[in-house]
Amino acid sequence: MWSKDELGARLTWISAHLGRAYNNSRNATLSDMDRQAHIEMPTGVWLSSYLWTLLAVLCLVILASKLAKPEGLRTFLDSISVKASKVKRALQEIERKTFHSLGVLVPLWYQTMTENLGFSEAFCIKVCWIVVTVVWTSEVLRLNFPMVQKAFMATPLGAVMREREQTQMTGTPFFVLGCTLSISLFVKEVAIASILFLILGDMTAALVGVSFGGEQVVVKLGRDRKKSVEGSLAMLIVCFIIGTTMFATVHLCEYAILVGAIVATLTELWSEDYLFGLNDNLTIPVFSALALTWAFQRTANCANCAPIA
């Protein structure tokens, strides 16, 4: 018979080896699962470089539009065949959307915090939800207290606000909430892509729709027939270009990006009509991120399938 000390030592040895065997088995299983369902993503260095380049290009465009005189912008719009009746509204939309394009700072902040400054994604998510709380609270105060409304209208945000938004919620709270949900629910790269789809795709749809909508294709889209085919096609193309360049290093990315671009475009087209009136600043990043996740998973599974003999 073993003594109490010998028995304790042997039980400790057995439990340690069983635990090690379990961990090895679990790690092997997880490794197999990763190989079967691994979704390839661009490297952090590539993504950071891409976002900084994108911001630089947008800053140059914004600077050029701000430095240009109104007459110069009118001449430019006339040179690209924008009808005279649409020039005024096109100029207003350019003013609004150049400001909105600064939303690119959100994915750039997220990438820089996690890739370059060493903060965790969990920390960034907490910051995002704090911002959501502050923005939504500010919006409620603006709509209920004239003093807050007056102060808000004196800011740059007030200058680009539509007239109807002075008495109802703007798109900013929905934009912040949509970005936060994407960042919270999806992998970083997919969340960033979906936010870019919203910022650049929706911007392009608005600018092209206002400037050229209804000229080549008289059919109008959406329940209220306010959306143009030209604007929707422009958004689809821009989202596809943004996605394929961002995921340029990912094998078979075109298929997944096309699915995401189509879903983003359809969401922009019908979100407020058929999705309980939800603002597309909220729905575009969430639905396009869902579509990208599903599509990338499908392409990853196809890449790991054995070839047909």
What pLDDT, in 10s, does the model give residues 144-190? 888 888 887 777 666 667 777 777 788 889 999 999 999 999 999 99
pLDDT of amino acid 302? 66
> What's the burial of 161, exposed, middle or buried (CB within 10 Å: 0-12/13-18/19+)?
middle
Q: What is the pLDDT of residues 224-272, one digit of tens each?
A: 556 777 888 989 999 999 999 999 988 888 999 999 999 999 998 887 7
Instruction: Kindly state the average pLDDT of the residues 38-65.
Output: 86
Average pLDDT over residues 53-66: 84
pLDDT above 90: percentage of residues in the chain: 39
Task: Name the residue type at position 36.
Answer: Q
Number of C-beta neighbours around residue 309 at 10 A: 3
Which residues partner with 228 through β-bridges? 220
More confident residue, 221 or 26: 221
Among 91-95, 105-109, 118-122, name the one with the lowest average pLDDT. Answer: 91-95
What mean pLDDT, rounded, does the chain reach?
Answer: 77
Category of 277 on φ-ψ map: left (φ > 0), alpha (ψ -120 to 50) or beta: left
Length in residues, the chain: 309
Residue 259 to residue 95: CA distance in whole angstroms: 31
Q: How many CB atoms neighbour CB 60 within 10 A?
A: 10
pLDDT at residue 167, rounded to an integer = 73
Assess whether pLDDT exceeds 50 at residue 18: no
Distance CA 142, CA 233 (A): 36
Q: pTM for the whole thing?
A: 0.78
Per-residue pLDDT band at 106 (split at 50, 70, 90) = very high
Mean pLDDT of all residues in 72-94 = 60
Quick one: pLDDT at residue 231?
84
What mean pLDDT is predicted for residues 265-287? 84
Domain chopping of the chain, boundaries: 42-116+172-302
Whether residue 69 has pLDDT greater than 50 = yes
Q: What is the pLDDT of residues 2-15, one digit of tens each?
A: 454 554 555 455 45
**Measured distance CA(13)–CA(19) in Å, rounded:** 10
Pair of tokens at residue 51: 């976002």
Position 118, amino acid: G
Query: Residue 66, class by beta-carbon neighbours within 10 Å (0-12 exposed, 13-18 middle, 19+ buried)?
Result: exposed
Confidence category of residue 37, pLDDT binned at 50, 70, 90: very low
Q: What is the mean pLDDT of residues 49-53?
A: 94
Residue 199 has pLDDT above 60, yes or no: yes
250 backbone dihedrals φ, ψ, rounded to 5° = -100, 130
Q: What CA–CA distance (Å, rounded) separates 154 from 1? A: 88
In this prediction, residue 40 has a pLDDT band, given cuts at 50, 70 and 90, of: confident
